[in-house]
Amino acid sequence: MKNLFISGDIGVGKSHLLRNVLEELNVSLGGFVTGKDYDYKGHTVYIKSLNDFVSFKNVAYVVGGTDIYSAQVYSENFDSFGARTIEFSIANRDVTVMDEIGVMERDSPIFLQSIINALDSDKPVVGVIKNRKDDYLESIKSRHDTKVLFLTGSNGVETYEEIMDWMIRNNIGIKEKKSHQWQQKRIDMYERALSYEHTGYPDVLLNELINRTDNLGAKTWLDLGAGTGAFSIPLAKKSKSVFCIDSSFNMLLNLSEKLHIQKLSNIEASLVPFSSLQNKTFDYVLSSFSGNALRDRHSLAKFIEMAVEKAFIICPPEKGRHNFNGEILEERIGRKIKSFSGGPTEILDFLETNKISYHYEEIDFNFPQVFNTREECFYFFRDFYQIKRGEEAILEAFIGEYLRSDRRYYVFDNYRRAGFFIIEK
């Protein structure tokens, strides 16, 4: 079975489960998700493309509550934009996502045929399908090559594990266990820290970028490891366009929601491995704390070659601090203090070996974490440092020493340093 769908009652968490699964994958993703824009009369339903995480079309308007059978449906948008989105994914992505297949599209034959084309293709399809008695939906659920899992309020863990087993059996790439997993709760905390008015990130580093560039209104960017757009959104507001890549589905989905709200159309995003990106160049290329993306020399060379004018790399410094004074806490607990990895050493060695001209400096900034309550702070650090029960009193004292109150928030400062490379072509 090469196709898998999650079904279940409304509000049981089907899309949430699917997105947690997609966060685990190390493949290129395409297809679509659906969303809603609310007004005082009802809501608009739209399809958003996961091929670029920005393009969308409204496909229905629902007056009042959730009676989708009485919705005003824009079948032509299903048949044009929706079908093209699926066909592009079949041709250009490893896995096609459909979240969700329902009944609004029942009078859109071209769109329905594109779904069949995806299911018939040799590439996997994963998605959500409504729990409705409809001939078209039943024809999908009964296919011999399609697995449907029914999610209830009590079988979430078992369903998640069954989906992951299915991914492995179908040879769909899974991220290494040491890779960062960005679940929504963690993203929400990251976004809260970004929006804190006294944070130095990313503005301190953005100012350095902008001071090293010119005529931005005519320039294009690659943002490798774009996340939720800390750099790419401000740069897009000043530049011609920004192309974003990230390995996190949930981070790019949050970026996509920001673009939708802010109505930014000069950003395109893709969840594709950097190694698969071919035949693209940009005026400027940026990699900011992009993890393993530039860890090998081939990727580093490719990244620099994609820049027409300058390449910027922001990475951990040669001798940095642990996040949140972590070395102090670990010493008090009696742990061996962890050493750093992923700094500039390999980049410096590559540039020197290949006689590539560069400028390197280190930049200090504060990127504090912001909490609503002291309890939230405690649980954050307990999980962050994997604190055992017998170590909780030490953690409590540590938090009491460094956590400060700022009006309605609790703030834990995080003084950091970044290595900053400028490579001119």
**Boundaries of every domain in the chain:** 3-32+77-169, 184-424
The CATH class that applies to domain 184-424 reads alpha beta
Distant-in-sequence contacts of 69-75, Cβ < 8 A, 24+ apart: 69/103, 71/45, 71/104, 73/104, 73/105, 73/107, 73/108, 75/105, 75/107, 75/108
Cα–Cα distances in Å, from 372 out to 45, 70, 76, 186, 330? 33, 42, 46, 14, 25
Superfamily designation of domain 3-32+77-169: P-loop containing nucleotide triphosphate hydrolases (3.40.50.300)
The amino acid at 375:
E
List the pLDDT tens digit at each of the 425 positions of the chain. Answer: 899 999 999 999 999 999 999 999 999 999 999 999 999 889 999 999 999 999 999 999 998 766 666 789 999 999 999 999 999 999 999 999 999 999 999 999 999 999 999 999 999 999 999 999 889 999 999 999 999 999 998 999 999 999 999 999 999 999 887 566 788 889 999 999 999 999 999 999 999 999 999 999 999 999 999 999 999 999 999 999 999 999 999 999 999 999 999 999 999 999 988 888 888 999 999 999 987 788 889 999 999 999 999 999 999 998 777 889 999 999 999 998 776 666 798 999 999 999 999 999 999 999 999 999 999 999 999 998 999 999 999 999 999 999 999 988 999 999 999 999 999 98
Q: Assess whether the region 3-32+77-169 and the region 184-424 belong to the same CATH fold.
A: yes
HSE at residue 54, side-chain half, CA atoms within 13 A, is 19
d(C-alpha 246, C-alpha 273), whole Å:
8
DSSP code, position 419 = E
**Three-state DSSP state, 126:** strand
